Copies of this chain bind each other. A is one copy, B any other.
Amino acid sequence: MKERYFEDVKAGDRFKSATYEVSEEEIVSFAREFDPQPFHLDRAVAKRTIFGELFASGWHTAAISMRLFVRALNFAEGAIGLGVDEMRWPSAVKPNDVLQVETEILGLRESRSKPSHGIIRIRNVTTNQRGDVVQTMMASALVLRRK
């Protein structure tokens, strides 16, 4: 897969990631480690919540979205995240959901402090197999310029 540089993207470009199926085991194991709340761990408790069944931690959705984004864009030497804004989880991720990320390049600027790099501003939207949006966010990241 070709490596991308700052100069290879422009505002308005859109990229679709591969897909990723999330298992119930992964939902429970991520939650046990990082978000040990009963509705992420126990089907019976989850049944009594507004979601009606076991659902993934939003941080798990965010981590899977990162995996899909990183592989889809494939910046040379990677993209160093500077910050994330307006992250929302409009629908919950449930066992066996198949996730996909669409990235839109919102804008680009050169880095004043690091002339070797540029800063991209992106919007990532993660959807499930039914087209429901499970996460939206904007982010800024430092990526390498061509020498």
Extra 14 A-B pairs, beta carbons < 8 Å, given A37-B79, A59-B59: A33-B67, A34-B66, A34-B67, A35-B70, A36-B67, A36-B70, A38-B78, A39-B77, A49-B80, A59-B62, A83-B88, A84-B87, A85-B85, A85-B87
Which size bracket describes the interface of A in this complex?
35 or more
Query: What residues of chain B lie closer than 8 Å to A88, measured between beta carbons?
Result: 82-83
A34 and B89 alpha carbons, distance in the complex (Å) = 18
User: Does A64 interact with chain B (Cβ within 8 Å)?
Assistant: yes
**Hey, which chain B residues are within 8 Å of A66, CB to CB?**
34-35, 57, 59
Closest-CB distance, A92 to chain B (whole angstroms)? 9
